Amino acid sequence: MRHTNFIEALSTDDLDAIRAAPKTDVHSHAFLSTRLKNLEHWLGHSVTKPPRKMNGLEEMMEYVITVLAPLQKSREGFEFVSTSGINDAIQDGVVGLEMSFDIMMARFYPNGLAGVKAFVEGLVEKYRSQINLRPELGFPRTHAGDVKLMKLAHEAIELGVFQSIDLYSYEEACAPEAVKPLYTKARAAGMKLKAHVGEFGGAEEVRRTVEALDLDEVQHGIAAAESIGVMQWLSQNRIQLNVCPTSNVMLGGVEDLASHPIRILFDNGVPVTINTDDLMIFGQSVSEEYRNLYQAGVFSAQELDDIRRASVTSFATE
Ligand SMILES: [Zn+2]
């Protein structure tokens, strides 16, 4: 790859050069991690596109459940999408990828978690020379009361293959305390602790969840911008927010890119990174997210380069 100055690449809108600069993606869900066109190519037919604007997570989940899940709800589908997502990241210049694998993927393997472990370890090894893939264990809030799945998640931590943990799905589905034992165990295993919170509202809920689960980083967390006090607290405690701008706009959490609160968070000293969330739905790579933020006038090219460099440093020093 050509090595061109990232700032110049942004200001001249040279997407290849933007891609050539090292970046990280630390907010990526494996089962929605590749471009829709790659899934279509694999299936051999076209797939209904997601709406350009969705009414929150509810409408997105409706699309996932009715359109996408039936097409890839198998070991083959899961493995294709995860692998293709890693390839997409490599092509985009992502050098550090923290990709979450949902605990429910174990059901695709006759031998359960052992199958997941073999597959995930194989991915890390296969792509080692091209990308630093750090597998993350994903747990859906909607299943916090599912005793069997919770037990499986505890066993997944013991595998030693997952380096971080994430909690997602509807914020109101469970209080953070419901997964506290799981997070305590993950911490003891040396894993990084993350959770989705503050995607749609509630600055205090961001702080409360970070405190309750002793989080290192927050997925989204953009609601923190509503409170100077919460932003100061996040800044002082160096709690990084892993933001996905297009996701926020398409799900209606943010009006448009130009008014995205990542600007307010940045100005208040909160560490932020720029990520994809679900490339299959939102259609924007990390490089494209940087370009979009520049073109929408949210950040200068210099500020975006600072954010990019800080994300690579943060990834490398963990
Ligand atoms: Zn997410």
Q: Is residue 144 part of a domain?
A: yes
121 C-beta neighbours (distance < 10 Å), count: 14
CA 182 – ligand 1 centroid, Å: 19
Number of domains in the chain: 1
CA 306 – ligand 1 centroid, Å: 23
CA 284 – ligand 1 centroid, Å: 14
Percent of the chain at pLDDT exceeding 70: 99
109 pLDDT band (50/70/90 cuts)?
Answer: very high
* Whether residue 115 has pLDDT greater than 50: yes
Residues 83-99 have a mean pLDDT of: 98
Phi first, then psi, for residue 217 (nearest 5°) are -145, 160
**Residues annotated catalytic, as ranges:** 199
pLDDT at 1 (0 to 100): 44
Q: Number of C-alpha atoms within 13 angstroms, CB side, residue 159?
A: 26
Q: Is residue 282 part of a domain?
A: yes
pLDDT at 4 (0 to 100): 58
Closest CA to 192 of 214, 169, 221: 214
Q: Is 268 left (phi over 0), alpha (psi -120 to 50) or beta?
A: alpha
Q: Is residue 191 part of a domain?
A: yes
* Whether residue 42 has pLDDT greater than 90: yes
Q: What is the dihedral of CA 114, 280, 57, 293, to 10 degrees?
A: 120
Residues 249-262 have a mean pLDDT of: 97
Residues 174-189 have a mean pLDDT of: 97
pLDDT at 13 (0 to 100): 97
CA 248 – ligand 1 centroid, Å: 10
Closest CA to 53 of 317, 249, 258, 198: 249
> pTM for the complete prediction?
0.97
- CA–CA gap between residue 191 and residue 154 (Å, rounded): 13
pLDDT at 288 (0 to 100): 98
CA 8 – ligand 1 centroid, Å: 30
Percent of the chain at pLDDT exceeding 90: 97
pLDDT at 318 (0 to 100): 77
Q: Is residue 236 part of a domain?
A: yes
* Whether residue 283 has pLDDT greater than 50: yes
pLDDT at 317 (0 to 100): 87
19 pLDDT band (50/70/90 cuts)?
Answer: very high
CA 3 – ligand 1 centroid, Å: 31
* Whether residue 69 has pLDDT greater than 50: yes
Closest CA to 135 of 209, 195, 191, 64: 191
Residues 224-245 have a mean pLDDT of: 98
* Whether residue 26 has pLDDT greater than 50: yes
* Whether residue 129 has pLDDT greater than 60: yes
For the chain, the distance separating the N- and C-terminal CA atoms, rounded to the nearest angstrom, is 26
Q: Is residue 8 part of a domain?
A: no
Q: Is residue 318 part of a domain?
A: no
Q: Is residue 243 part of a domain?
A: yes
DSSP state of 277: B
| Helix axes of 75-91 and 113-126: crossing angle, nearest 10 degrees | 20
User: pLDDT averaged over the chain?
Assistant: 96
Q: Is residue 14 part of a domain?
A: no
44 pLDDT band (50/70/90 cuts)?
Answer: very high
Bridge partners, 98 (sequence order): 134
Residues 245-252 have a mean pLDDT of: 97
CA angle 288, 279, 210 (to 5 degrees): 95
Structural domain including 175 reads 23-313
pLDDT at 2 (0 to 100): 46
- CA–CA gap between residue 190 and residue 193 (Å, rounded): 9
CA 15 – ligand 1 centroid, Å: 25
Helix (H) or strand (E) holding 217, with range, is strand 217-220
Q: Please answer whether residues 137 and 156 qualify as being in contact, where contact means their C-beta atoms are separated by less than 8 angstroms.
A: yes
DSSP string, 295-313: HTTSS-HHHHHHHHHHHHH
CA 219 – ligand 1 centroid, Å: 6
For residue 127, give the CATH number of its domain: 3.20.20.140
Residues 191-202 have a mean pLDDT of: 94
